[in-house]
Amino acid sequence: MEEKPDALIQVIEHDKGRIEIIIDKEHYRPLMTSLSQAMCGAFDIAGEHDKVVYRTIRELTQRGIRQREGRNAPSRQDR
């Protein structure tokens, strides 16, 4: 994937299935709040859902990679 420095959220696929998530620092809290609302059904002010949001983004990205590569079952490291 190519990096887009002006994007508010970047998901970058590295070697060996490593995923890097970069979130624009100036918009971090509103973005995490919106993602928490969308993914967790919770309004997150304190940040307790940040790890859940990161994990969900990573899992969705890895699922897309597996589908693109023709694999449907999660790998051992994805569980």
pLDDT tens per residue across span 37-50: 776 655 555 566 67
Q: Is the pTM of this model over 0.95?
A: no
Q: For the chain, give the mean pLDDT.
A: 75
**Residue-level pLDDT at 72:** 64
Residue 57 corresponds to which amino acid?
I
pLDDT exceeds cutoff 80 at 58: yes
Most confident of 2-6, 11-15, 67-71: 11-15
How many CB atoms are closer than 10 A to CB 41?
A: 8
How many CB atoms are closer than 10 A to CB 23?
A: 20
3-state secondary structure of 5: coil
- 13 or 41, higher pLDDT: 13
